[in-house]
Chains A and B, each alone.
Chain A
């Protein structure tokens, strides 16, 4: 149980393109999902908390107009990187938990490369 699916796993696109990443909880409902970013050889960095039916909560320094989050249902959250530039190239990972105080389960991640 507690499977989180993330799609796509790899994206290569030109600068200025918008990219949408999907995160699904396959066998449980998640009112809260999390989006992380990780640069090579660095720690996980929480970008935002995605709340079903309401606005996402962004961490300090994360541009909410650039990283659009939509949590339209209890099993799906999407992250859209708008007008992506080479500095947005990174490993983006989502996670979800089955309930309060439960561990987060991570998707496989999306490696984004902006040319």
Chain B
């Protein structure tokens, strides 16, 4: 069983819509949660960090964490074609820096 699970997609949404990306994790002791965006042929780029239950908003992005359900999500409002990328969920379940990555969800925003 994978430790961090994501639907591989592709998730297709029209321009201007809300894209909802989901991630579940297996280790209840996980402390830190991150969302990365990876464009094709490029390295991952950090877009959100979340450490406590609830919502965290940054511009068009909102991360949601529910530790009881072992679930973290990313909402992208007013989706743009430039948001088309693979979104990686990453979880830190120890005191160090090692991350466990999900397989990523490919998002396609259609003009």
Contacts and interface: CB of A to CB of B under 8 A. Distances in A.
Contact of B42 (A43, A104, A108): A108
Interface of A: 6, 32, 34, 43-44, 46, 49, 91, 93, 96-97, 99-109
Given A43-B103, A101-B31, A103-B49, A32 B43 contact: no
Contact of B96 (A32, A44, A103, A106): A32
Given A32-B96, A44-B88, A100-B96, A105 B101 contact: no
B31 to A, nearest CB: 6
Given A43-B104, A103-B49, A97 B97 contact: yes
A44 B92 CA distance: 16
Contacts of B44: 44, 93, 106
Contacts of B96: 32, 100
Interface in B71-109: 88, 90, 92, 95-99, 101, 103-104
